Structure 1
Amino acid sequence: MFRHHLLLAYRNFKRYKSSFFINLIGLTAGLSCTLLIYLWVNDEVQMDGFHDKTVYQVMQNEHITERVNTVDGTPGILAEALAKEVPDVATAVTTSPAYWLAKSKIALNGKPPVNAAGKFAGKDFFKVFSYPLLSGSADKVLAEKNTVVVSEALAMKLFNSLDVIGREVIWTNAEMEAESHALISGVFKNVLRNSSDQFDFLVSLDVLLTAGNATYAKWNNYGPNTFVSLKKDADPNLFNTRIRDFLKEKGVKDYTLFIRPYADSYLYNQFENGVVAGGRIDYIKLFSLIAVFILIIACINFMNLSTAKASRRLKEIGVKKVMGVSRRSLMLQYLSESMMLSLIAMFVSLLIVELALPQFNNMTAKHLSLSFSPGLVFPLLGITIFTGLISGSYPAIYLSGLKPAAALKGKIRLTSGAMWTRQGLVVFQFAVSVILIVAVLIIHKQVEYVQTKNQGYQKDNVLYFETAGKFNGNAGFAVEQIKKIPGVVNASSINREFLGDLSYTTGVFNWEGRDPKEVIKFQRADVSTGLIETLGIQMAAGRSFSEKFTSDTSKIIINEAGIKVMRLRDPVGKIFTLWGEDMQIIGVIKDFHFESMHQQIKPMFIRYKPTGTNRIMVKIASGKVKEALAGLGEFNKTYNPGFPLDYKFLDQDFQAQYVAETRVSLLSGYFAVLAVLISCLGLFGLASFTAERRFKEIGIRKVLGATNLSVVYILSRDFTKPVLIGILIALPIGYVFSRLWLASFAYKIELQLWFFMAAGFMALLISLITVIFQAYKAAGINPVQAIRAD
């Protein structure tokens, strides 16, 4: 029987080629889109999944004024204290955040350094995390202070061998002002791509907690990350209760602790007022929903075309029913047809996905591939079966339910229920398409807004590089020499990344009139003279730092947001006490966006402390970039041989802040176009069949004097109504979704009526072009041939 159904399906596909290819193209497009999204989603949800499920990250809630701010930075000695004092902890470890040593250099004595990403890590790092060691003992590799553990790739790059235990290396990092000789104590397997934490070497945490960085060994200062592995029988909720006020017991007020599963940190990385508020999981949900809807749109095309063309199969249905074929058997036949079409579409989709993956990987910064493992094969089968059942279910029910007498006579009347179902499916198709168009338009406008809005600083033609080698601790000399290079407008230095969370302090400053109960958080940066001018930051009041004033080391500059929370009038000349030292406010800078526009501009102060700077920033004249870069290269070769000039342009960092939004904008644009095209493909098929079914009617109307325009109007009006209804339904839904997405930005566009009108008009125009093209083609027939047709 199954073979018989497949044979019938093949014959029907061969007989009705146009319908077959329309359905095949629609299902193939839908399945290709779904498969690409599935590969991306599967890669995202598997991130960090190889670690033990008992590993948790300890987080801090800062209770600042009337809100709660959640951070992952903790005191550097928290892990050791938790392991000793809380019974539920099996093992605990402290590590540095990824960005602290992300731009490190590591070298052999007398040889040029290579770039490598590192981390400080406690002695139990390899007991908590599931990174396999190739050599060395998990108990000992980080137990000694001057030890380093390297990846197999780094070992091969440095020594061309994995037999490296006991060999000496020199690692440097501008961020931590560190340069150290260390002995290799172990080699770990290269970190997998599905790890959110990527690093090439680990340094003993003791280096971080010694004299120069003793600040991280205090309870009232934090920055490192803390991770715990709980005992098998431990209750995470009860553990949260036990550690909530752990810091208060250590004399630290206004901070509470809690844990979250480490595997959740990648997907759920946004908090609002101390509660998880989403993160990357939102984009996973969004694209999963898009995949389901696009697949359903493709299935709807099959449903509509199959039911619309039921008249072609009336005699077949009637004869079979008279011969005693059951309705169940007929349903199986039609489901077999849809399943066979779904299988063909899946095979074609696999070919398309294989060809599209390189470009898709470029857009998503992934390394996805089609590897036919059980983890992919079973979902593929599931998607194929789902598509076949969904697309074939309604036609099977509808066609198998036709009355035999009416079927044999070739006359069936479309019931109101069937008509409403078909119209409703078209409405659904275009409602989804319009929602996607609205989403694309809003995302594009927001990304355009953040990229063109005045950031409060000049990012064009500004490059920076970290001090290394002879420039370590001698940034002032480098800056003065760089200013002399042709094409360089200005140069200065700063002690950390210019964009991003600059590092902050709270509770160690004071001023006249401050409320002692108010907790305020200030971002901070140490700079040399000329930084404000190099970056084009505007002064709102007072002056910038200058070498003309030797006393500027006791002066401070604060941004407008800081002055606002301080509630100071005429702040220039007032005293700002910082870490027990009185510092005079000499200037107020206008607010600038040192973080992305997801964040409000925070209070910030800048100190003049050139000896503490380790990142040199250079402003180059427009059109002189090539000349200036050549000069910088020669300067570095002369004064810092053996250390390559690894520079980066500031506008690259700016773009990196919105990489997720840019990718979402690009991908959603492709998916929206695909949804509209699939929907219009269905309309094209329906319009084609309608024109075919009303062939004789068109001929009679033309004989009676109907113009081509009136025939086009008659044929297209029935399709315009559901499209308009779909648009009207979609616009308010699109508005709600747009508001929800924009809520994650502190600075955002205003939603305007024309955004939604444009989306609706675009969908309507495309659908009208599709239908009118087919209708106009039908209107141009010879009326005599139409009347003579059977």
Structure 2
Amino acid sequence: MKKKIAIPPHFATRLLTWFIRDDLAEGVLGDLEEKFLQVAEERSLFLARISYWYEVVNYMRPFAIRKSKHLNPTIMVRHNLLLTIRNFKKHRSQFIINLAGLSSGIACVLFIFLWVTHEFQVEGFHEKEDRLYQLLGNHSQANGIATHYGVPADFLEAIQSEVPEVAHTIAWAPTGEVSVSVDGNYHKTEGLFASKDFFDGFSYRLLKGDPATMLSTKSGIVITQSLSDRLFKGADPIGKAMEWHFSGISQSLVVTGIVEVPKNTDNKFDYLMSWDYYFDDLMQYRGWSEHNALITVVLDAEFSKNIEAVKMVTSKINEVFKVRSSVFQDDFAKEGDENKLEFMLQKYADLYLYDNYENGKVAGGRIQYVHLFILIGIFILFIASINFINLSTAKAIGRTREIGVKKSFGASRGSLVGQYLMESVLLSLLSLAVAIMMVWSLLPYFNTMIQKDLTIGLNMETILMALSIILLVGIVAGSYPAFYLSRLKVLTVLKGKLGGKAGGAWGRKTLVVFQFTLSIILIASVMVVFYQMDYVMHKNLGYDRDNLIYFKREGKLMENHQAFIEEVKKLPGISGATLTQFRAGFYNWTEGVDWPGKTAENSVQFQQFFSGIGQIEMMGLEILEGRGFSSDFNEEQSVIFNETAIAAMGLKDPVGKTIRHYSGEKKIIGVVKDFNPLSLRDKIRPMVYLINPDRANYVLAKLNKGMELATIRKLEALHDTFNPGYIFEPKFVDQDYQQLYESEKQISRLSSLFAALAIFISCLGLYGLISFTTERRIKEIGIRKVLGSSAFGIVYLLSVDFSKMVLVAAVIALPISYLATSSWLENFAYHVDLPWWIFLVAGLGAFLIAWLTVGSQAYKSARINPAKCLKED
């Protein structure tokens, strides 16, 4: 049996070799090995190994440390940075395409981020945000449950006294547009009536005044700083008097405070007045059937922690309502009639984004647009990143020999990985810097487009998020050359045996298909939005809104309105004038109507309009039965319904029948054809028209076409004669109608911008890829031309693969576009039927744009001199 050869511990030898200086290594290792063999022979192999390890550790002292052969990390970074810059210069076209595409995509994402952040921050400044809830009423009707913000004004005292879980109850209501003045200096304003607990719930910043007392007196008013500047010209307004003009009333008020209204609130106002003044002196109708207040509650901290606690408070509020309210019984009502009304609480901060309701439950709202643009932002970033990744991986194939040469000269894999990752990450960071400059320079135009005042607010969270995204994109884009190509063997690379598998052709094709799928979805969606908006703006609503103007009736016009109306009618260019409460989008509802045969099951909410003689004719409404209001009769006891109202009430032969309105008994004199005064998001509702000059607080006039400007000037002069001092501000009904769709118009503008950007970035990527393909096949092109191939044949050869990719993208995108746009159109009660040609045009449009991009570069390559092609290295 052979004797086992004694060998020193391999790991100990390697450790000492790595640690000790080269000039000491040979002698020390020789001495240690000799001693190891001696101990192993005289004593045992185990003791020899222990002794060897002891000697190795004993030599690991400062004097023996070897000098590092590795380069200084700083030098390596500088070296890689220099190579990166040289590579950018060498491949300038790819660098510019990558920089333009990625920076445009990042800029788009930053714009969307600013907009989305602003939307989420609306009403988020209130300190008690988690305890602040709005009381909403769910009204059960024959056609479903309708949700409204208005609740009975008497609820203020009832909740305060009977629901101990509520810390503060705030009642408030908009004053509408009124004039205020100081020393005859009039200004149009809009404010709120607010109860004394207003500042216990809402965190509007008080600049001056005592929040505990400044709304407790009927003669006090709290104004904003901007209104103070307009009225008092920079002087301290506290304790000074001002006049408030409302429906012929001029009330002298004393300024008790100054408040600042932030930009991120949807509840803007110029002033606050006492709720007690509104409740005691101005409210014409009160009771549990009148919903003339907005009520916000602040829950005790322990009752706002979970949904079940909020539900418990809601149940208590509903019990209070059932006990306090009484059912109105009259000759028309049947036994057992009940007011089918329940209340719910919704977080106040959620009202802005979640303001659509279906059958008594929250069903979305502006949050859908927020989610849409978050999705668009992700789409755009994907498209830009795909460009970056595709071009980086494609170009890396051309650098395989560079990798082989570097490795043959001793470059480690780590240094290659560092170099390629640095290139990718540096380009990403440059793109971020360019994108920030783009956002900074274009933000004013963007604000004009969306009618907001966004600002670039840099905080640590935003910076970290942006850097994380950019680093992720950079690392993903640079990972292919960094981790795959850097591990290839030198001979494989230098002999050109890498083959097609390194090209990642299928991966790039898949990314291009995905990229154009997203672009086509955006294009098709934008076309549908435009089509719907065109339908909205030109649909016949059942009334003639062209050249209809209205303006506020105040001051002396509340007293001598008839004389003023008669003078207005005499003006050249005026075809009609009357009093009205009507404005496009104005909604004044009531349940205070009873009729023969009414039951609890067919309770109806009516859209209520107080009008003047001649309004129905001026608006071009069609009278189906009976007649309109006439100056030949005393019409204050008359009423007109639309056909939807008659159907909801179930009345046959309604003309001549008597109904009971909350203001008294009325006789039906006519039925008009349905028209829609609201937006097309809403169905046509039951409507009731009444004559009441005190409630019809606007003047409506019909202008002759072609004479609008001159007529308005004459109308202003007449107004100033009858009502000196008050500001004349006419508004067009048609403009108000268009204002109803401001959100949709903003979405349309933004979607168009982002869709155009998406297709631009996608085409940049195609341009880069076709340039790369042409460069790689330049000799093939030369040979084909020598053999007689035409320019068209070369163009076809280079374009066919890209055309197939876009075609596949269209096939995938169009069904998705149809489903997405159909879902969006469901937000409108009246909308277009989706025509097939919209999606065909979207697909063909994207295909044409892509083909032009590819074809132009392919044609340029096809015209190159074959001799020049064949000389290329």
Structure 1 length-normalised TM: 0.95
The one-letter amino acid of 1:250's match is R
Which range moved further: 726-735 or 471-480? Answer: 471-480
Asked if 1:318 is matched to 2:404, the reply is yes
Any conservation in 1 of the 2:188–2:727 contact (CA below 8 Å)? Answer: no
Question: Aligned to 1:768, what secondary structure does the other structure show?
Answer: helix
Once residues 668 and 715 of structure 1 are traced to their aligned partners in structure 2, the CA distance between those partners, rounded to angstroms, is 32
Once residues 826 and 402 of structure 2 are traced to their aligned partners in structure 1, the CA distance between those partners, rounded to angstroms, is 57
Q: CA offsets per residue over residues 163-205 of structure 1, 9 Å max, x none?
A: 333222111234xx654222222222x2111121111110000
Return the offset for 1:338: 1.6
Aligned match of 1:232 = 301
Aligned match of 2:596 = 512
Asked if 1:537 is matched to 2:610, the reply is no
Once residues 138 and 80 of structure 2 are traced to their aligned partners in structure 1, the CA distance between those partners, rounded to angstroms, is 64
Asked if 1:456 is matched to 2:533, the reply is no
Question: Aligned to 1:434, what secondary structure does the other structure show?
Answer: helix
Once residues 727 and 173 of structure 1 are traced to their aligned partners in structure 2, the CA distance between those partners, rounded to angstroms, is 60
Q: CA offsets per residue over residues 311-367 of structure 1, 9 Å max, x none?
A: 321122223445665555534332221211112112222222222112111111111
Once residues 344 and 713 of structure 1 are traced to their aligned partners in structure 2, the CA distance between those partners, rounded to angstroms, is 36
Aligned match of 2:312 = 241
Question: Aligned to 2:864, what secondary structure does the other structure show?
Answer: coil
Return the offset for 1:567: 2.9
Any conservation in 2 of the 1:438–1:756 contact (CA below 8 Å)? Answer: yes
Question: Aligned to 1:415, what secondary structure does the other structure show?
Answer: helix
Once residues 730 and 367 of structure 1 are traced to their aligned partners in structure 2, the CA distance between those partners, rounded to angstroms, is 35
Once residues 516 and 852 of structure 2 are traced to their aligned partners in structure 1, the CA distance between those partners, rounded to angstroms, is 14
Asked if 1:213 is matched to 2:283, the reply is yes
Aligned match of 1:120 = 193
Which range moved further: 85-94 or 310-319? Answer: 310-319
Asked if 1:159 is matched to 2:228, the reply is no
Which range moved further: 473-482 or 667-676? Answer: 473-482
Any conservation in 1 of the 2:583–2:736 contact (CA below 8 Å)? Answer: no
Aligned match of 2:64 = none
Question: Aligned to 1:309, what secondary structure does the other structure show?
Answer: helix
Q: For the structure 1 residues 47 and 402, does the alpha-carbon distance in structure 2 shift closer, same or farther, using more than 3 Å as the test?
A: farther
Once residues 795 and 234 of structure 2 are traced to their aligned partners in structure 1, the CA distance between those partners, rounded to angstroms, is 76
Once residues 323 and 858 of structure 2 are traced to their aligned partners in structure 1, the CA distance between those partners, rounded to angstroms, is 79
The one-letter amino acid of 1:76's match is A
Once residues 162 and 415 of structure 2 are traced to their aligned partners in structure 1, the CA distance between those partners, rounded to angstroms, is 70
Q: CA offsets per residue over residues 708-758 of structure 1, 9 Å max, x none?
A: 111111111111111111111111110111011001000000011111111
Any conservation in 2 of the 1:240–1:257 contact (CA below 8 Å)? Answer: no
Once residues 269 and 781 of structure 1 are traced to their aligned partners in structure 2, the CA distance between those partners, rounded to angstroms, is 62
The one-letter amino acid of 2:95's match is F
Aligned match of 2:219 = 146
Return the offset for 1:571: 2.7
Return the offset for 1:777: 1.2
Return the offset for 1:397: 4.2
Any conservation in 2 of the 1:95–1:205 contact (CA below 8 Å)? Answer: yes
Once residues 662 and 360 of structure 2 are traced to their aligned partners in structure 1, the CA distance between those partners, rounded to angstroms, is 28
Once residues 766 and 561 of structure 2 are traced to their aligned partners in structure 1, the CA distance between those partners, rounded to angstroms, is 67
One of 551, 555, 580 as aligned partner of 1:465 = 551
Return the offset for 1:780: 1.3
Question: Aligned to 1:185, what secondary structure does the other structure show?
Answer: strand
Q: For the structure 1 residues 355 and 18, does the alpha-carbon distance in structure 2 shift closer, same or farther, using more than 3 Å as the test?
A: same
One of 89, 100, 111 as aligned partner of 1:14 = 89
Asked if 1:258 is matched to 2:344, the reply is yes
1:599-678 to 2 correspondence within 5 Å? 599-678=682-761
Any conservation in 1 of the 2:124–2:349 contact (CA below 8 Å)? Answer: yes
Unpaired stretches in structure 2, ≥5 consecutive residues: 1-75, 327-338
Asked if 1:270 is matched to 2:339, the reply is no
Q: Which has the larger radius of gyration?
A: 2
One of 176, 195, 199 as aligned partner of 2:269 = 199
Which range moved further: 761-770 or 327-336? Answer: 327-336
Once residues 778 and 438 of structure 2 are traced to their aligned partners in structure 1, the CA distance between those partners, rounded to angstroms, is 37
Return the offset for 1:762: 0.3
One of 765, 779, 782 as aligned partner of 2:848 = 765
The one-letter amino acid of 1:55's match is L
Which range moved further: 722-731 or 304-313? Answer: 304-313
Any conservation in 2 of the 1:311–1:410 contact (CA below 8 Å)? Answer: no
Return the offset for 1:156: 2.6
Once residues 309 and 132 of structure 1 are traced to their aligned partners in structure 2, the CA distance between those partners, rounded to angstroms, is 57
Q: CA offsets per residue over residues 431-490 of structure 1, 9 Å max, x none?
A: 000000011000000000000111111122111101121112443232122111111110
Unpaired stretches in structure 1, ≥5 consecutive residues: none
Any conservation in 2 of the 1:307–1:399 contact (CA below 8 Å)? Answer: no
Question: Aligned to 1:688, what secondary structure does the other structure show?
Answer: helix
Asked if 1:223 is matched to 2:300, the reply is no
Asked if 1:566 is matched to 2:649, the reply is yes
Any conservation in 2 of the 1:295–1:387 contact (CA below 8 Å)? Answer: no
Any conservation in 2 of the 1:509–1:580 contact (CA below 8 Å)? Answer: no
Which range moved further: 483-492 or 581-590? Answer: 581-590
Aligned match of 2:799 = 716
Once residues 709 and 386 of structure 2 are traced to their aligned partners in structure 1, the CA distance between those partners, rounded to angstroms, is 56
Question: Aligned to 1:141, what secondary structure does the other structure show?
Answer: coil
Once residues 234 and 326 of structure 1 are traced to their aligned partners in structure 2, the CA distance between those partners, rounded to angstroms, is 64
Question: Aligned to 1:137, what secondary structure does the other structure show?
Answer: coil
Once residues 675 and 10 of structure 1 are traced to their aligned partners in structure 2, the CA distance between those partners, rounded to angstroms, is 28
Once residues 166 and 700 of structure 1 are traced to their aligned partners in structure 2, the CA distance between those partners, rounded to angstroms, is 93
Q: For the structure 1 residues 256 and 23, does the alpha-carbon distance in structure 2 shift closer, same or farther, using more than 3 Å as the test?
A: same
1:86-101 to 2 correspondence within 5 Å? 86-96=163-173, 100-101=174-175
Asked if 1:33 is matched to 2:113, the reply is no
Once residues 427 and 357 of structure 2 are traced to their aligned partners in structure 1, the CA distance between those partners, rounded to angstroms, is 46
Once residues 582 and 77 of structure 1 are traced to their aligned partners in structure 2, the CA distance between those partners, rounded to angstroms, is 25
Q: For the structure 1 residues 376 and 513, does the alpha-carbon distance in structure 2 shift closer, same or farther, using more than 3 Å as the test?
A: same
The one-letter amino acid of 1:319's match is V
Identity percentage of aligned residues? 41
Question: Aligned to 2:302, what secondary structure does the other structure show?
Answer: coil
Work out the number of aligned pairs and report it: 779
Q: For the structure 1 residues 88 and 534, does the alpha-carbon distance in structure 2 shift closer, same or farther, using more than 3 Å as the test?
A: same
Structure 2 length-normalised TM: 0.86
Question: Aligned to 2:267, what secondary structure does the other structure show?
Answer: coil
One of 20, 30, 49 as aligned partner of 2:124 = 49
Q: CA offsets per residue over residues 102-158 of structure 1, 9 Å max, x none?
A: 4221112x4131122210000011111111222221110111122111112222322
Question: Aligned to 1:36, what secondary structure does the other structure show?
Answer: helix
Once residues 66 and 395 of structure 1 are traced to their aligned partners in structure 2, the CA distance between those partners, rounded to angstroms, is 64
Any conservation in 2 of the 1:43–1:194 contact (CA below 8 Å)? Answer: yes
Aligned match of 1:23 = 98
Q: For the structure 1 residues 580 and 766, does the alpha-carbon distance in structure 2 shift closer, same or farther, using more than 3 Å as the test?
A: closer
Aligned match of 1:500 = 585
Any conservation in 1 of the 2:585–2:736 contact (CA below 8 Å)? Answer: no
One of 306, 327, 341 as aligned partner of 2:392 = 306
Return the offset for 1:570: 3.3
Q: For the structure 1 residues 593 and 403, does the alpha-carbon distance in structure 2 shift closer, same or farther, using more than 3 Å as the test?
A: farther
Once residues 663 and 204 of structure 2 are traced to their aligned partners in structure 1, the CA distance between those partners, rounded to angstroms, is 44
Once residues 501 and 785 of structure 2 are traced to their aligned partners in structure 1, the CA distance between those partners, rounded to angstroms, is 29
Aligned match of 2:154 = 77
Once residues 274 and 335 of structure 1 are traced to their aligned partners in structure 2, the CA distance between those partners, rounded to angstroms, is 55
The one-letter amino acid of 1:524's match is Q
One of 756, 770, 773 as aligned partner of 1:687 = 770
